[in-house]
Structure 1
């Protein structure tokens, strides 16, 4: 499983980035504005908000799917399951299509956004973790400190962003979301979201979500049911976060930052 493969990388990340000499990178707190029901069977790999609905991708072999979800009730109103051999990962909408990654199969899927009918497939090297877009380009994380830039029409890589925090490469970048000109990225197995300048690749802020979500003893698998899932409602300036198999999606507001 992914959590085993990246365990030592996480230890190195914590030692190399969070515990080195302090810098001036601001750390934002949060307040919860509202909560929405979330399926505790959903092992969240990707999340976005569009036209009043959450779109969610779930992972794990035999349980991977894409879903359209009513925010108010948590009801899955549309769903498509992956083949049992594929481990589903992040999703993004581009025009009338929904694009999905798989973890280690080296291919992704393209669906009609309205019907979830499969309309294509594409290939890529390495692992696939998450996707987002800014209206011009698609951004793809793969668990490394490098975020790939994809042409949204061909889904071929056209560039990259090397992400650093306090001068050091920042790995384990998972679910990503484009928010007001920055890339927000869950740092897998931590309570933090990195705010990344897409031009320089530097982490220009942290969002510390310590205390959000269920207590470990309330989850099915405490080591694995972690923070992962960011969605942004552009029309109403709303930020949502959740975690794997968490019972709630949280709408949050960021609070004033302090130095890291």
Structure 2
């Protein structure tokens, strides 16, 4: 069923070569934690014992450091009211974030979340992550765009493909063991992408988590991936969800 859903999202066009095999995975819940139901989650990452979250909506967007046990903000900075916050990622001692349609990016100090600068870019901003020395941006198209994080000069683009077909609507991004994990907007799926080729290596079906979180409404979709590399913990959540989950992959094959 989830292969069919991704096929419906794919843009027209047949593969020119045989696509690589795609692993299919389910999940099991390891633990759940409280999450602020007013948070329109756009970006998520783990650093030094805390979850960092970016939220959207005009007049309500923020970047925050969260207490995992309570879900409450230990520190936060609001974006200007005319900015619709999207994804965030850590680069050294900075947090770099993008906005939806404004073409404006922000930099904050990871120590105190104080603004340290802005930048501009073309197109929309959805999710961001670091892959090696590149900042990788999703923008609603099937392309991942690679930037120099210091200058925000675009270096290259890679088209993400499922069974040889381009897949748009890639949203929040996280890098785990060199691969890019991406929420597919308005679905229960996370795809794991080879950043060198754009090929989708595996699919994670998280059907049922939204209901478990008590989330309702079309906007309350899965969005948010964070990886604790030290303890090998995978966290996910969604927009307006009451829970943030630690999950483990299951039934892969």
**Same fold by TM (over 0.5)?**
yes
Where do 4+ consecutive residues of structure 1 move more than 3 Å? 11-14
In structure 2, the partner of 1:231 is 226
Q: Which residue of 2 aligns with 1:85?
A: 82
Q: CA deviation at 1:248?
A: 0.7
Residue matched to 1:33: 30
Q: For 1:209 and 1:228, how far apart are their aligned partners in 2?
A: 11
* Cα distance change, pair 243–49 in 1 and its aligned pair in 2 (3 A): same
Call closer, same or farther: CA 1:133–1:12 in 2, change over 3 Å.
same
1:180 maps to which residue?
177
Partner of 2:8: helix, strand, or coil?
A: helix
For this pair of structures, how many residues does the alignment match?
A: 244
Mapping 1:197-236, distance limit 5 Å: 197-214=194-211, 218-219=214-215, 221-236=216-231
> What is the aligned-residue RMSD (CA, Å)?
2.1
Task: Describe the superposition over 1:52-99 as per-residue Cα deviations: whole angstroms up to 9, x where unpaired.
Answer: 000000000111000000101112010111111110001011111111
**What does 1:42-191 correspond to in 2, within 5 Å?**
42-191=39-188
Counterpart check, 1:248 vs 2:243:
yes
* Cα distance in 1, alignment partners of residues 165 and 175 from structure 2: 22
Q: Distance in 1 between matches of 2:103 and 2:166?
A: 24
Residue ranges of structure 2 left out of the alignment (5+ in a row): none
Please name the residue that 1:15 is paired with: 8
Task: Give structure 1 stretches of 5+ with no counterpart.
Answer: 1-10
Q: What TM-score do the two structures reach when normalised by structure 2?
A: 0.91
Counterparts of 1:148 and 1:16, CA distance in 2 = 20
SS at 1:186's partner residue? strand
